[in-house]
Structure 1
Amino acid sequence: MRIFVTLLASLFGFLVAHIPGALLGLLVGSIIDHRLSLKSWQDLRDRLPVFAQPHISAQQVLFMLLGHLAKSTGRVTAEHIQAARFEMQRLLLTDAAQKVAIAAFARGKACRLHELRGSLKLHYSTAEQTEKLLMAGWRMALAEGMPTAKQRRILHQCAQWLACPEDRFCRIEAQALRGRLRPLRQRDELQAALELLGVSRADTWPQVKKAYRRQISAFHPDKLMGAGATLAQLDAATEKTRALHQAYEVARKHWAKSSVSNHI
């Protein structure tokens, strides 16, 4: 039952203005409780920036977030581990620092997202820091192909906590997706295409087409235009559909060759 802030506000109001103050506090507190969806006193404590743990470094917070993003898919895969290692290389971490990052990554797998809120706001207060954090998050989300809806919600929540404007968040997302197009040229084209489409080599061509149409329907910018989307949101959707079109063509050529081979 969401009554934590309600009780505090009502008590404070009573102390200040007796019954009228208690009634006003009851009203204001209930609105705040509804907005925050608090479930426990610990939940309230974790939401307050004053309880951020200053002994946790910015890098530890980053790798905790990466661990949380990886685990959000259900299980941490070799691709997630490789993406985390890549971030360590980008940051030029020493062996000792890498051990700390690995421990933070493991800790992030078990934590709740709002537990990171205070530390994120403590260490990533500027626009530049926020962008670097979100780009690292997107790289983790793209480790296995297209990011899941849950991973996008996680990153979007972090962006809101860090006061990152919606348009800026969408531009960062689009930039990350554009980077995802490069693996189609740098490594196994087919495997990269299948990851983007969310299918495997064992699937049939009708299953591949169904997966492609489902994702196109979800991400096509035409759907957003009628919903009042911003230019940045349309840009992100365009990058997604462009990647899906490219992946579909790679898959179509592969299944066409397989069909010819099966009839020889």
Structure 2
Amino acid sequence: MQIWGKFFGGVIGFMFGRIAGAILGIWLGHQFDKRMSEAPQGMQERQALFFNTTFAVMGHMAKASGRVTENDIRMANALMDNLRLDGDARREAQAAFRRGKASDFDLQAHLRSFRDLTMGRREVQIMFLEIQIQTALSDGDLHPREYAILQTIANRLGFSQAQLDAMLARWQAETRFQGAANNGPSLSDAYRVLGVEESTSDQELKRAYRKLMAENHPDKLVAKGLPQEMMEIAKRKAQDIQVAYDKVKSARGMR
């Protein structure tokens, strides 16, 4: 199943919450898939494992609160739609989601395999964790068992408690940030997008901004393994960071 590029590109667009971004991501990912069509069998197996683990853990997360809600199903279907999964590929994703809901689902074993698969590719691990965060928050609330699963995922992938909590806060802020009305995003959400407190000094704010921009610089992401064609998507992320920084700078009267 040669869908690594489409999956990667589609998920990036999906996480931005922009239909245009998802479509662009899928198209760019398709170009990557074409280049990978001659990849060794081992590569294809790793791609399939990434795909199945993502949807299986989504299913497990959805069941954590006691029952799978319409929001959970809608979110899983939205990701499948954004990835344009149909036929066997969609049935495989649905089967993985159902396996994750089973009472005997072995989360630890799946996370061990996923950790070995990603081999330190932090941007892929972050993407995986953010998908699960969105699943947990799909109903607007974070159930204690959902949080416990997120803690397990974060711990297994090497993220600290503080990093997980920061990702939760930042994801919620970015969602509000992108959906802000004509008055623009709130100042508090701008701080959260930048990952800093309102009490942060101007110097610390600049350092945080520069660090985020460096981490999300398209050239750097390409060097870490992202296809060259995904630069436009990476630029969208950098734009959100820039807008947040400009808003905070204006509020502080910084130059």
What band does the TM-score fall into relative to the shorter chain?
0.3 to 0.5
Higher relative contact order (CA 8 A, sep 6+): 2
Higher Cα Rg: structure 1 or 2? 1
Taking structure 1 as the reference length, the TM-score comes to 0.45
